[in-house]
Copies of this chain bind each other. A is one copy, B any other.
Amino acid sequence: MRFRPTPRDASFFELLAGTAEHLVRGAELLTRLLGADRTQRADLAAQLHAVEHDADENTHALLRKLNQTFVTPFDRDDIYALASTLDDCMDDMDEAGDLIVLYKIGDLPAGVSDQVAVLQRCAELTAEVMPRLKSMTGLSDYWVEINRLENHADQAYRRLLADLFNNGQDPIAIIKLKGVIDALESAADSFERLANTVETIALKES
């Protein structure tokens, strides 16, 4: 089942929330992909890619609206930054899933599940916060928590990287796995950038 793009007459907040919902769905697929066997993985990566495509259409609708609207709820540049950073989060997760399949990676180290669990939580928090941009209330808990989660993701990433090089694995396996964990780390960074943008918007409006 594919998510439907958000309807044509949706508000900026609805469009942003719609893209964030795609992130939640993407993170769920990525979580399932980790635990799946090779055949299921290819199918789940295809589903993840379909979600990425739907998110793209949503972003496109938002940009179209942005470019044809004279008065926007907050700075045009900030809406643009939100949309493009949500897109980065999705692309990074999609890339990670894609590389796991493309590289025919077998079992993944437990640390990768930690990385993805953080992304899942970040996606959920992001989906919750987007509609609250309308009232500009209860935003600070979100960015504090995302920063805490990103810190956690960063530690998981660094442990994975150290293990990867110190466990006597063969170089090709290292290159492949490094590609995957780099993409997941990049997704966590994108979620943090998104939280920074929300904080900037809140500061301006306060």
Interface residues of A (CB under 8 A from B): 63-64, 67-68, 98, 102-104, 158, 161-162, 165-166, 170-172, 174-176, 178, 200, 203-204, 206
In the complex, are the beta carbons of B172 and A172 less than 8 A apart? no
Bound form: Cα–Cα A110–B64 in Å: 39
In the complex, are the beta carbons of A102 and B162 less than 8 A apart? yes
Query: Chain B residues near A171 (CB, 8 Å)?
Result: 170-172, 175
6 A-B pairs, CB-CB below 8 angstroms? A63-B200, A68-B203, A171-B171, A171-B172, A171-B175, A174-B175
In the complex, are the beta carbons of A172 and B176 less than 8 A apart? no
Dominant secondary structure at the A interface: helix
- Integer count of this chain's copies in the complex: 3
In the complex, are the beta carbons of A104 and B166 less than 8 A apart? yes
Bound form: Cα–Cα A188–B100 in Å: 23
Q: For the complex formed, measure the closest distance between the CB of A86 and the CB atoms of chain B, giving whole angstroms.
A: 15
Q: For the complex formed, measure the closest distance between the CB of A73 and the CB atoms of chain B, giving whole angstroms.
A: 17
Query: Chain B residues near A67 (CB, 8 Å)?
Result: 200, 203-204
